Structure 1
Amino acid sequence: MTDRGTSALRTSPDQFTVGPSSMTWTGNDLIIDINEISSLPLVSRVRGRITVTPSAITSVELPLTPDGAHIWRPFAPVSRIKVDLEAKGWQFDGHGYFDSNFGTRPLETDFSYWTWGRYPTKAGATCFYDADRRDGTTLDAAIAFDTNGHASVTGAPPRTGFKRTLWALRRETRADHGTTPRQVKPMLDAPFYSRSVVETSINGEKTQGVHEALDLERYASPLLKPMLAVRVPRRAKWRF
């Protein structure tokens, strides 16, 4: 992920290009071509292609606040993904998803903490969005998606805490009574954010999916926010 100026941006109905990287929709596949240089401490070339093939495209939008200032858009929560990067061990095929968040206010203005998880199931995938809002209310969303892109609100097992991250970030997700979720694989560990593969049990079905936890109290800290400039490289004055 690299920050660039507006001179590096090109868009069309089927393609979004930022600098040397792009996302192209073919009608069946989302082709993500990456050509970047990673940040400190492991500065290296990140180059290759990711292909996401949705089983269907949904029409779902979930407001995260009552006024709709923040929206979660699960475009393709049930997909196949093929990763082919130019590095040893970075080639694989598996289940995947494609989603996005939109907002008109900074996240830390409206939220103090949230967790999100997407877990594949026999029927498709189930997503959980749990958030603590600044106004004292909570978001408790559980949505099941089938392979045709149909969405339905579903019953959710209770929020269940599990082991904190190396930065002592609190984590929780949904899990059946008597089950404790566990991290299977770390993906990103930051002082205010965690992304990992987590195993849990949902309505009697054991599953492994992508989980994230975000502490907006930490993120808003003037001591931590400048770290983003270190972790996200910035490339000014790009020209095609």
Structure 2
Amino acid sequence: MTLIAFIGSVFSPYYFKGRRRGRDEPRDYCSLNVCLYGKARRWTMTERRQRGLTQSHSRLQIGPSALHWGADRTLTVEIDEIGTPIPQRVRGEVKVTPSFINEQAFELDQAGRHRWRPIAPSARVEVSLERPAISWTGHAYLDRNWGDEPLEDAFRYWDWSRASLGGDESLILYHADRREGDRLSLGLHFGADGSLSHFEAPQDHRLARTPIWRMPRSSQADAQHPPRVVKTLEDTPFYSRSVIASHLQGRPIEAVHESLSLDRFRSAWVQHLLPYRMPRR
């Protein structure tokens, strides 16, 4: 399961077009993206205008769905959405409880216009959905991205992956090809006690392209241990989410992996397709 709350949705075709017409108020392009995998597969990303947005220090309301922090540092997500392209209801509650809170944020570009903070590199999740009727508990991760310009203006491509090493220990890789021509390459190790250490990201390896849209994918792994795709979760014209088997710091891992092509995203043919998966209310 993946949940993403957007204010000024970076992947919105309406925001993409609006910025070019001077209608660039980010609060007018908000959505809650819900992705369910497995037998009860669902995908929602209905975009809401500013009138559907309410914000406070601890609560974010987007249309009928909401996120709020509790006094016990648990993030509760109340979901009430309609899936696309098949209009199936997704309703229920998700609770994410961080094992610890990371306060450090990272600048992704040289100008400092794009930032990323892995808020909870390790967490526990409780999922209780009415529609579809499923529930489970397990391991989770929570982060935040924010910026002062469109992603496609600063980056051509990026990939990211996170692996749990057992308990509350984890590894994160963040690689980006910047439009200036240089690269970002982050390797982060979070200990079970919340400690953070950096390591040099190993060499880059190409992964198999996605089966439908042929999205390019790559990831970093130890020499002589090329990563491989275990399962493709999302296969879109400009973005993929996968489970990969890899090898980092001398140990085998399984990681959630994402690839994003901003060159593809800003192309006319992709912008034409996106409204079919992202209705606007």
The alignment's TM-score, normalised by the length of structure 1, stands at 0.92
Same amino acid, percent of matched pairs: 39
8 A contact 1:76–1:149 mirrored in 2: no
1:18 maps onto 2:62 in alignment: yes
Please state whether the residue corresponding to 1:92 is helix, strand or coil: strand
Report if aligned partners of 1:60, 1:151 keep a CA contact under 8 Å in 2: no
Query: How far is 1:101 from its partner?
Result: 0.8
1:46 to 61, 65, 90: 90
* 1:151 matched residue in structure 2: 196
Displacement, 1:185? 2.8
1:91 CA drift (Å)? 2.6
Separation of aligned partners in 2, 1:206 and 1:199: 7
The answer (yes or no) to whether the contact 1:79–1:95 under 8 Å persists in 2 is yes
The structural deviation recorded for 1:54 is: 0.5
How has the CA–CA distance of structure 1 residues 36 and 59 changed in structure 2, closer, same or farther, with 3 Å as cutoff?
same
Counterpart in 2 of 1:62?
A: 106
Alignment gaps of 5+ in structure 1: 236-240
Q: Are the structure 2 counterparts of residues 86 and 196 from structure 1 closer, same or farther at C-alpha, using a change threshold of 3 Å?
A: farther
**Counterpart-to-counterpart distance in 1, 2:139 and 2:243:** 13
- The question of whether the paired residues in 2 share the 8 Å contact of 1:78 and 1:146 is answered with no
List aligned pairs for 1:83-102, cutoff 5 A. Answer: 83-87=127-131, 90-102=134-146
Structure 2, gaps ≥5 residues long: 1-44
Q: Is the 8 A contact 1:187 1:197 kept in 2?
A: yes
Change (3 A) 1:145 1:29: same
Asked if structure 2 preserves the Cα contact closer than 8 Å seen for 1:30 and 1:53, the reply is: yes
- What does residue range 1-240 of structure 1 map to in structure 2 within 5 Å? 1-26=45-70, 27-40=72-85, 42-87=86-131, 90-122=134-166, 124-166=169-211, 167-235=213-281
Q: CA deviation at 1:117?
A: 0.6
Asked whether the equivalents of residues 59 and 66 of structure 2 are also in contact (C-alpha less than 8 Å), the reply is yes
RMSD: 1.6
The separation in 1 between residues aligned to 2:133 and 2:198, in whole angstroms, is 38
Give the distance between the partners of 2:93 and 2:193, measured in 1 at CA: 26
Count of residues in correspondence between the two structures? 234
Map Cα deviations across residues 167-197 of structure 1 (whole Å, 9 max, x no partner).
Answer: 1111111222222322223221101100122
After TM superposition, give the deviation of residue 68 of structure 1 in Å. Answer: 0.7
- Could you tell me which amino acid in structure 1 is paired with residue 130 of structure 2? E
Q: Which residue of 2 aligns with 1:238?
A: none
- The one of the two structures with greater contact order (alpha-carbon pairs below 8 A, sep at least 6) is 1
- Rounded Cα–Cα distance in structure 1 between residues aligned with 2:56 and 2:261: 35
Alignment partners' CA distance in 1, 2:196 and 2:62:
32
Letter in 1 for 2:218: E
Contact 1:115 1:129 in 2 (8 A): yes
Shift of 1:134: 0.8
SS where residue 269 of structure 2 aligns?
coil
Q: Tell me, yes or no, if the aligned pair for 2:103 and 2:119 is still in contact at 8 Å.
A: yes
What is the Cα deviation at residue 89 of structure 1? 7.4
